Structure 1
Amino acid sequence: MGKPLDLRDKSSVKLLQTFYQAVADDLEMLALLHVKEPDCKILEALRDCNFPYSMGLKLVTEEGVDAIDLMGRVVESLPDTIDDDFLDLLAADYADIYLNHSLQASPLESVWLDEEQLTCQESMFQVRAWYEIYGLMVENWRIRPDDDLVLQLQFVSHLFSISESEKHLKDAARFMDEHLLRWLGEFSNRVASRCATPYFAAVGLLTAAYCEELRDLLAIVIDQPRPSREEIEERMKPNAPKEEVSLCYMPGMGPAV
């Protein structure tokens, strides 16, 4: 493992600012791919920007390279003319994953961590407490609960977009350890093995590989190694303390500043 960057060094700070924005943009794009069924505009944009090879963070692990390759082949194989039949196929697969849960691959953390696999459980309130620390709130938790994958990706993106100190990066790492990475791998593997289209298999595997590699990179940048699964389970037994902050609301899909 390399040495952490010296955040007092001007060249390191400039390099990190570029890194922050690249990661924030990547995570926003990944969130967009999970937020709704793709339409012509999204699919054409993926093809036009040479996604995923245009992502800011270049994945180097075996899982990351494989996920990039799969997503790249999916985008390259998109039909020249994207017709309604093709979109309907993707929409049906999206519904099976994210809406009617026929694949039993819920995008909600609570379902994966709750003993009875219920929604809106303790995980949701723990994630909400994280949003509150940064003065954020979800538009409508009844439609998209706080612990939804899209919102968690957007929250980590937000932390990178506002990063001005090591604290934001440490919070991003801790949030990923305590929440996103505890279930994202299982979610993506189940989607990939059960979904009907290569598109959503690729989206799921790419999201998981990206977040895993991002967390490993953070371990180097801020010298904060990843805790073991057992350490996380022990850490998450008590409720985390909440900070008193003032909240504000803006319409939108994700947490609002």
Structure 2
Amino acid sequence: MGIQQDQQDNSSIKLLQTFYNAVADDLEMLALLHQKEPDSRILEALLDCNFPHSLGLKLVTEAGSEAIDLMSRVIKSLPEVHDDDFLDELAADYADIYLNHGLQASPLESVWLDEENLTCQESMFQVRVWYEMYGLMAENWRVRPDDDLVLQLQFISHLFANSESEKHLQDVAKFMDEHLLRWLNDFSNRVASRCATPYFAGVALLTSAYCEELRDLLVVVTDQPRPSQEEIEERMKSSAPKEDVSLSYMPGMGPAV
């Protein structure tokens, strides 16, 4: 009886670890798609791996299914030859979203939550505290501020990849509640409605749907319900405590292009 229980426990641990690793890989991939404009290598890799059906977390909500369907159609409709005109169109759309704010859809949390829509405001420093608690830091906050979408996705990926206890997952849920999910849906919808290419519409909507379903799944894993928007706003009136730890660069983060 004891041996059977041990086997069940070991099986559950292995299953959870597989889930953690799959989510970590998914988030790292989504971060990459927001990190820079796609080149032929990235586009070919997405086609070869049957993205987004290759994601480890299978989306089941209506929004998730629609995002999967859109991104799948985008990938399947890519031209066989990625000529300069096609890549330039994607690069221009990327620049309008992430670099020159031509769409007024900033990938920075501060812009969405600050009353004057400014960058490098309180949200950035709150997110920085989270990174510091896990010994991480943005490589160059002047190039890519701490509250950038790419870094937030990479941070959550890092927590899943290095999950050692349920506290890591509780921290993921809390971080998503207090930061990423307070603005990601607005960002994604604005990108999808204003961008010039179906590619970035698909990337934006897929990222939002994925993160929403991931957060709902954490309710089951951690047995903690999602707080209401009002509860989050009340919670965020007080700052999180800061801990002194040694820091390392955010995993996988390179200079912005």
The TM-score normalised by the length of structure 2 is 0.94
Residue aligning to 1:132: 132
Aligned positions of 1:161-240 closer than 5 A: 161-240=161-240
Paired residue secondary structure (2:102)? coil
Moved more, 52-61 or 245-254: 245-254
CA shift, 1:11, in A, is 2.2
Identity of aligned residues (%): 82
2:209 maps to amino acid: A
CA contact (8 A) 1:111 1:119 kept: yes
Q: Distance in 2 between matches of 1:218 and 1:57?
A: 12
SS of corresponding position for 1:210: helix
Gaps of 5+ in 2: 1-7
Match for 1:167: what amino acid?
A: K
Distance of 2:145 and 2:102 partners within structure 1: 19
Q: Which amino acid aligns with 1:172?
A: V
Measure how far apart 1:150 and its partner are: 0.1
Residue identity in the other structure for 1:102? G
Farther-moved stretch of structure 1 (201-210 vs 234-243): 234-243
**Structure 1 residue 248: Cα displacement:** 3.2
Deviations 1:178-226 (A, max 9, x none): 0000000000000000000000000000000000000000000110111
Aligned-residue offset at 1:40: 0.3
**Which deviations, in whole Å up to 9, do the C-alpha atoms of 1:110-163 show, x marking residues without a partner?**
000000000000000000000000000111000000000000000000000001
Contact 1:105 1:191 in 2 (8 A): yes
- Alignment partners' CA distance in 2, 1:247 and 1:207: 28
* Aligned match of 2:3: none
Alpha-carbon shift at residue 13 of structure 1 (Å):
1.3
Q: How many aligned residue pairs are there?
A: 247
| Residue 27 (structure 2) aligns with | 27
Q: How many angstroms apart in 2 are the aligned matches of 1:165 and 1:192?
A: 37
- Report deviation, 1:12: 1.8
> CA separation of 1:193/1:251 partners in 2, compared to 1, >3 Å: closer, same or farther?
closer
CA drift of 1:9 comes to: 2.8
> Aligned in 2, Cα 1:250/1:207: closer, same or farther, shift over 3 Å?
closer
Which position in structure 2 is the counterpart of 1:109? 109
Deviation at 1:21?
0.1
Unaligned runs of 5+ in 1: 1-7
Which 4+ residue blocks in structure 1 deviate beyond 6 angstroms?
none
Retained in 2: the 8 A contact 1:139–1:251?
no
